[in-house]
Chains A and B, each alone.
Chain A
């Protein structure tokens, strides 16, 4: 059995198991920790698919920054009491499970028809990755996708400003004259 097959069959069940754990477990903190493990397994999949740069970015951005933000908000709000017992809508969970199974069946059928379960990726990805994956990605990013890249920077600034505006505690704004009058 080739090594990448072994790695896949170790990490794919782990990925599915942590995904199930994330939606099944009661505590929000535990769900977040399951999600961290899940993101790590997806990072390993990127490594198997010859995308080492995305592997690093996945761990730094998702497992690092985004999950820390999640855990920080969970701790800050103190909302780890779990969901309320029972369901609000009759049969909501059963419907969700049926819906999820339907998605899997539909997508598996589509994959079987479109790609085929036995199709292997062709060799020769080294040509696309010439000079190393990050360097090759940078070539494509800054040549073909330069305008989207610049738009992304605007998006990040808008997101940062929006987060500050939303998180601002609305206190009464004092003008300079009122501060002077208070003295």
Chain B
């Protein structure tokens, strides 16, 4: 493979920064969630790149586990967003300002 490994790491750093900017910029809970997904994927890319660099499969295994946890997180997170929407009729995180159900 001729592409330097740092290119993948820099790409993943840029994607992580874009994801965190997406989290910070929007008040919409769904958009925040998409930003979090982008961040998770950027970190997965880093794991796979380091797995290739060190000639070990453990990085890929960790990325695999991270995908499973991300799937569980999306399921619960979206269910929470739906439950908040039922109560407040909005997915605006500024409106959902009370913890009381």
Tell me the A residues contacting B by CB distance below 8 Å: 2, 4-5, 8, 12, 15-16, 19-20, 22-23, 28, 31-32, 35, 38-39, 42, 45-46, 48-51, 53-54, 57-58, 61-62, 65-66, 69-70, 73-74, 76-77, 79, 83-84, 88, 92-93, 95-97, 99-101, 103-104, 107-108, 111-112, 115-125, 127-129, 136-137, 140-141, 144-145, 148, 152, 155-156, 158-160, 162-163, 166-167, 169
In the complex with contacts A101-B17, A156-B68, A92-B25 CB distance below 8 A: yes
Q: Is the CB of A167 within 8 A of B15?
A: no
**How close is B48's CB to chain A, nearest CB, in angstroms?**
5
Q: Is the CB of A155 within 8 A of B48?
A: no
- Closest residue of chain A to B25, judged by CB? A96
Q: Is the CB of A65 within 8 A of B71?
A: yes
In the complex with contacts A16-B11, A66-B74, A103-B41 CB distance below 8 A: no
Beyond the given A35-B38, A77-B91, please list 10 additional residue pairs across the A-B interface where CB-CB is below 8 A: A15-B11, A23-B26, A49-B48, A77-B30, A88-B94, A92-B24, A96-B25, A104-B17, A140-B58, A166-B76
Contact among B13, B15, B64, B83 with A111 in the assembled complex (CB-CB below 8 Å): B13
In the complex with contacts A16-B15, A51-B51, A83-B81 CB distance below 8 A: no
Q: Is the CB of B52 within 8 A of A51?
A: yes
Q: Is the CB of B6 within 8 A of A28?
A: no
Tell me the B residues contacting A by CB distance below 8 Å: 1-11, 13-22, 24-28, 30-31, 33-35, 37-38, 41, 44-45, 48-49, 51-53, 55-58, 60-61, 63-65, 67-76, 78-83, 85-86, 90-92, 94
Q: Is the CB of B4 within 8 A of A51?
A: no
Most central of A35, A69, A159 by chain B CB within 10 Å: A159
Q: Is the CB of A74 within 8 A of B30?
A: yes
Contacts of A5 in B (CB 8 A): 2-3
- Closest residue of chain B to A104, judged by CB? B17
**How close is A103's CB to chain B, nearest CB, in angstroms?**
4
Give the complex CA separation of A27 and B44 in angstroms. Answer: 27
